[in-house]
Chain A
Amino acid sequence: MMATTEAGPRPRTGVTPVSRRRRTLSERIYVVEVARGLAITIRHLLRNLFGRSAIGTSRFPETAPRFPPRFRSRHRLLKKEDGTPRCTACMCCATACPAGCIYIEAAETPDPTVEKYPKTFDIDALVCIYCGFCVEACPCDAIRMDTGLFPPAGLERAEFVDDKDTLLARTGPKEPAAGEPGGVAPLSGPWLKKC
């Protein structure tokens, strides 16, 4: 039993004596406290069964998970107005990537106004750490992580590698208008024609 009073100055041993409240009679015979505990648990049970449920579990495969609006999900590549990829194969994202999950092969385009384009653009979702540095690094806003997708379970490693067509086919959320919260400033400026 812990001492309830301290006698004299505290000894300099580094030990802090803690005075504990002596348990009251009703606490010592357990019955009342047990009944109080039982009331708490049954209250939870009844509320979850019949009242406003406090269960936070999401029924994942049936119900889509809710992510915060700026959740970094799987990548997508954006297109120019003519449908070609915005990416210029500048390798900024692959350079910025700390995991090294982006593999780009550049190629010449027939369009004389565009310097190069990515012939292949692969992202390995098993290697990606979802840091978002590629999005930050891209000078052309060609890659984003706003699809709301995350890697599903798979049986083959190859299933997790996204190629260029997959990335281009993905869509983002409904774009908020510029000026709205979350809206992206409209792409403009002479440099953007190159992207």
Chain B
Amino acid sequence: MSMLLYLIPVALFLGLLGLGAFLWALRSNQFEDLDGAAERILFDEDAPPPR
């Protein structure tokens, strides 16, 4: 059972990592334009991305 002592923190840490990533994405406006994001992946030029 002693493995629980580090398995639980590891599981929680991974979960928090996911939550943090989501909140960061939300804060940096990545959920503003979901349709646009799906299309932007088709930009196939190597030109610098639009500012």
Same complex origin of A and B: no
